[in-house]
Amino acid sequence: MPEIQIRHAIRDAMREEMERDDRVFLVGEEVGYYNGAYKCSEGLLDLFGERRVIDAPIAETGFAGVGIGAAMCGLRPIVEFMTFNFSAVAFDQILNNAAKIHHMTNGQFSVPIVFRGPNAAAHMLGSTHSQAFEPFYAHVPGLIVIAVATAYDAKGLLKSAIRDPNPVVFLESELMYSVKGEVPEEEYLIPIGVADTKRAGDDVTVITWGQGVPVALKAAELAAAEGIECDVIDLRTLRPLDTEAVLESVRRTNRAVVLFHGWPYGGVGGEIIARIQEMAFDHLDAPVLRVCYEDVPMPYAENLEHLVLPTPERGLEAIREVAYRR
């Protein structure tokens, strides 16, 4: 299989779905003539023209609302936020319109729309551009929330998201767009709501997603050098959550660490820990630990940012602790 960057996997997924279904279109800031802020839409304007690759003004509330209205009328929009930090000004559209219209109209309207773009911290972008938004969106019934970490998953899950009849929040990572991975040349889909084991082991379960995946894999590599083998579960979909994949692993390893990009309070990590405690408590030989951001706004200074972010070393420390190897 050829190796391509995550940005190209995303582009190819959009291109294939736009070729397959003329109801699919892309709208967002700089997605057309600039080929996307991170070049995820490179070449799409030349292929599909201005009617289907639409450069929007700096007005996220406006173009998110246009996308929702178009979806209600039978189209299948892909709305790109240059960063999910900018989606904050479109909260009302996403939370109160996209997520609720199907329910409030008793199924008379569906909203088949994808909101996609980079999420969580990048590098020295400061407090207002470094937030992880999955807790905000996964909290809301009516939304599907996906977070990808590989080119293979990005393409297969984005294609599934575009075809889904429900609104999907599709979270990417600015720092990972250039990461390469094997992607089949033939068409494939990845089912929404199914986790993936990125590394197998029987000693500790490490649950992660999105930007946390490479950190968790590196932590597992460090742990393996000390004789601790980790089962690294990439959730991929945060709502709906593949709870059974998590529980199956925890019931086997009897220990769990949740490693993710995001604040500790009130997040997806806490939800996962609650489900483990409720459904696998008798299997636990140690408390479930989490490795995530420190509970502070993200600093701009590089040395301080490093202290806030989850690292493989912090992951290793948590793995050691639950395995009683400190």
**Which positions are catalytic?**
60, 129
φ/ψ of 77, rounded to 5, equals -75, 150
Taking the CA of residue 219 as centre, how many other CA atoms within 13 Å lie in the half-sphere pointing to its CB?
A: 29
Question: Coil, strand or helix: which one is 169?
Answer: strand
CB–CB of 276/257 below 8 Å?
A: no
Three-state DSSP at 117 gives strand
Greatest distance between any 2 Cα atoms in the chain? 59
Residues β-bridged to residue 26: 53, 78
Tokens of 29: 């800031």
* Backbone conformation region of residue 304, classed left if phi is above 0, alpha if psi is from -120 to 50, else beta: alpha
Tell whether omega for the bond before 112 is within 30 degrees of 0, i.e. cis: no
